[in-house]
Amino acid sequence: MKQAGYMALRLTPKSGLARMMKALSVLLLVFCIMGIQGTVDARAAQTPSEIQAEIAKLNTKSRKKRTEAAVSLAKRGDPMLLSLLLALREGSLYAWKPAGGEARVVIGGDAVKRGDKEFLPLFEAYSNAPLLDALGKPLLVPIDQVKEIRAGRRIRRAIRPYVNRLKNSAQLLSPDPNIRRAASTRMARLGDPNLISVLRKFLAAEPHWLTRIAFEEAIALIEMKSVDAKVRLAAVRELGEINGLNAIGDLKTAAGLVAGNKGDTDPAVRAEAKAAVDEIEYYLGWTSFIDTIFRGASLGSIFLLMALGLAIVFGLMGVINMAHGELMMIGAYATFVVQGLFISYLPENLFGFYFILALPAAFTAAGLVGYLMEISVIRHLYGRPLETLLTTWGISLVLQQVVRQVFGAQNVDVKAPSWLSGGYHLIIGVQFPYNRLFIIVLAAVCVAGTYLFLFRTRAGMRIRAVTQNREMSTCLGVSSRRVDAWTFASGAGLAGLAGAALSQVGNVGPDLGQNYIVDSFMVVVTGGVGKLMGAIVAGLGLGGMNKLLEPAMGAVFAKVVILIMVILFLQRRPEGLFATRARGA
């Protein structure tokens, strides 16, 4: 019951939400008042007094005292001191005495020439923030008014290992929460107790809930190496409460669950570590289940997008279109062409909008090819399924070769726009990629649009009338040839949309369609020929079964098993999940 209650709490991470929102509001208010931009400035408003005193010790004639001060600053592990230590090592740390003030240690920037004189822009030693003059502009000081703080070989050698370590922890200042989480994980593996105070400092100012948990996990991992059993016990308990996925190996070692290791010397720590391992593994079971459900829905949406156009062409028109995969390929290459136009002719900041225009371009390009296929070849083969199959297979080979001649035989690179990169973190250990979420939404929009088109418009009524009774529709004044052409073009356009979506999750090459044509036919036949609801159920069902079987059998064998199951199902129910109802004589 305790685990279930805690699981429910972690599935919607709202603990301390009011305090976090209040702290975030205060930070935003400070930003607006002070005009501070960026994560670095927000965290570097004040220099701690003890650090300020040690920085001042660098401005001394005694080499020994300078070395002691530099090493003491480096040992703190504070990422805010990295700029100072690099400046000391590279000879750009200076002592500057302003008019009517005391001497202070500053960082010098690149020299600027104004006439015959050289000036240096100055920066704060701790925060690396630029110093400003009375007008609020960057302060420029004549180079002869500053004195270089020299770092000899002994100082550079003494601070070298700490500087290398600080380069990793300096990523805690990154505006990207993913980089900050990765930096905290690396700091945890170093196991340096001096890093705890740094992590706690950044934890207090961290607005992202998942990054806060990563900082807490890093602190607990370092404390697990403490000589004090009480500190280790508290750290192990904390890791169990926050579901520290990166700590599972350390916890198993502390619990004595690793072969050849007796575990922690304290029995209370061993027992708590075993309980934490059980709790994290229980949580991992939930995350694995949620991840499998999402991946199944994502793959099912891809199957549905692929089969939607085929459901119209094959289901409603009875045409076995073996070139359906190549129509998807045309949509993917249309996306590549639109991307190239944006890169070549539009500013870089507009690149993220290319995919929005690529969707109608892919639909139009594939629909145009489908329209030309129908009026030139397909309309002469209605009612002759074998000839249609062979002809469309030949067309697929022609389209593949045309693409190879125009774009080359190698795969092309289609980049995802920034708004489709990354993912949404639902809970710890579960991330939903934005490109997969977009495909799910796109599949839902396409299904809704297809339904409304077929059942809520006059054009859709004509399509259904012609496919059900061509002769009677013609007698009533419906142009069956025009309806056939536009119906085939619509199905081809949907295949182009599927190709545009697939360009965001897989390779784009001349063989793209061959990888998905079998899955497309399998979804349409399993769901029921001409049944939109059947395509939806079959697509999502086959996608979910794929992801359920893959962990145990592997991707290839899982597909084989599913194909066998579909064959056996069709032997039992040839009409598919949703049979077409007709009047018997």
pLDDT at position 241 over 70: yes
pLDDT at position 2 over 70: no
For residue 1, what pLDDT is reported?
Answer: 37
**Same-domain check for residues 54 and 7:** no
For residue 229, what pLDDT is reported?
Answer: 92
**Same-domain check for residues 318 and 402:** yes
Residue at 470 is within a domain: no
Residue at 104 is within a domain: yes
Residue at 487 is within a domain: no
pLDDT at position 327 over 90: yes
Best-predicted range by mean pLDDT (3-17, 52-66, 106-120, 391-405): 391-405
pLDDT at position 174 over 50: yes
Vertex 125: Cα angle to 113 and 203 (nearest 5): 135
Average pLDDT, the chain: 84
For residue 312, what pLDDT is reported?
Answer: 81
Residue range 508-555, pLDDT digits in tens: 999 888 888 888 888 888 888 767 788 889 988 998 898 888 888 887
Phi, psi angle pair for 292, to nearest 5°: -65, -40
Please say whether the beta carbons of 55 and 107 come within 8 A. no
Q: What whole-number distance in Å separates Cα of residue 569 and Cα of residue 566?
A: 5
For residue 495, what pLDDT is reported?
Answer: 92
For residue 202, what pLDDT is reported?
Answer: 87
Looking up tokens 């090493």 gives 71
**Same-domain check for residues 120 and 178:** no
Best-predicted range by mean pLDDT (45-54, 189-198, 220-229, 256-265): 220-229
Please say whether the beta carbons of 294 and 425 come within 8 A. no
**Same-domain check for residues 23 and 81:** no
**Same-domain check for residues 216 and 77:** no
Vertex 549: Cα angle to 546 and 550 (nearest 5): 80
Q: What whole-number distance in Å separates Cα of residue 489 and Cα of residue 495?
A: 10
State what percent of residues in the chain have pLDDT above 70. 90
Query: What does 194-249 look like in DSSP terms, one character per residue?
Result: THHHHHHHHHHH---HHHHHHHHHHHHHHHTT-S-HHHHHHHHHHHHHTT-GGGHH
**Same-domain check for residues 333 and 224:** no
**Range of the structural domain that residue 210 is part of:** 174-265
Helix (H) or strand (E) holding 519: helix 517-527
For residue 290, what pLDDT is reported?
Answer: 92
Residue at 491 is within a domain: no
Vertex 10: Cα angle to 4 and 13 (nearest 5): 150
**Nearest-10 Cα torsion for 503, 507, 509, 512:** -80
State what percent of residues in the chain have pLDDT above 90. 31
For residue 454, what pLDDT is reported?
Answer: 86
Residue range 80-126, pLDDT digits in tens: 888 888 888 888 899 998 877 788 899 988 888 887 888 889 999 88
Q: What whole-number distance in Å separates Cα of residue 156 and Cα of residue 170?
A: 19
Q: What whole-number distance in Å separates Cα of residue 200 and Cα of residue 195?
A: 9
Q: Which two tokens stand for residue 439?
A: 């495909």
pLDDT at position 28 over 70: no
Phi, psi angle pair for 224, to nearest 5°: -65, -20
SS (H, E, C) 365-397: HHHHHHHHHHHHCHHHCCCCHHHHHHHHHHHHH
- Count the domains in the chain: 4
Residue range 178-232, pLDDT digits in tens: 888 988 888 888 888 888 888 898 899 899 899 999 999 999 999 999 999 999 9
pLDDT at position 12 over 60: no
Looking up tokens 């489709």 gives 420
Which comes out higher in pLDDT, residue 560 or 530?
560
Vertex 320: Cα angle to 505 and 331 (nearest 5): 30
**Same-domain check for residues 434 and 511:** yes
Residue at 561 is within a domain: no
Please say whether the beta carbons of 543 and 298 come within 8 A. yes
pLDDT at position 441 over 70: yes
Residue range 364-374, pLDDT digits in tens: 999 999 999 99
Average pLDDT over residues 134-152: 87
Those residues with Cβ within 8 angstroms of residue 569's Cβ, 6 or more apart along the chain or in another chain: 526
**Same-domain check for residues 376 and 514:** yes
**Same-domain check for residues 212 and 296:** no
**Same-domain check for residues 25 and 62:** no
**Same-domain check for residues 40 and 154:** yes
Residue at 80 is within a domain: yes
Residue range 275-304, pLDDT digits in tens: 999 999 999 999 999 999 999 998 899 889
For residue 580, what pLDDT is reported?
Answer: 62
For residue 400, what pLDDT is reported?
Answer: 93
**Same-domain check for residues 421 and 348:** yes
Give the model's confidence band at 14: pLDDT under 50 very low, under 70 low, under 90 confident, else very high. Answer: very low
Residue at 573 is within a domain: no
pLDDT at position 402 over 90: yes
Residue at 474 is within a domain: no
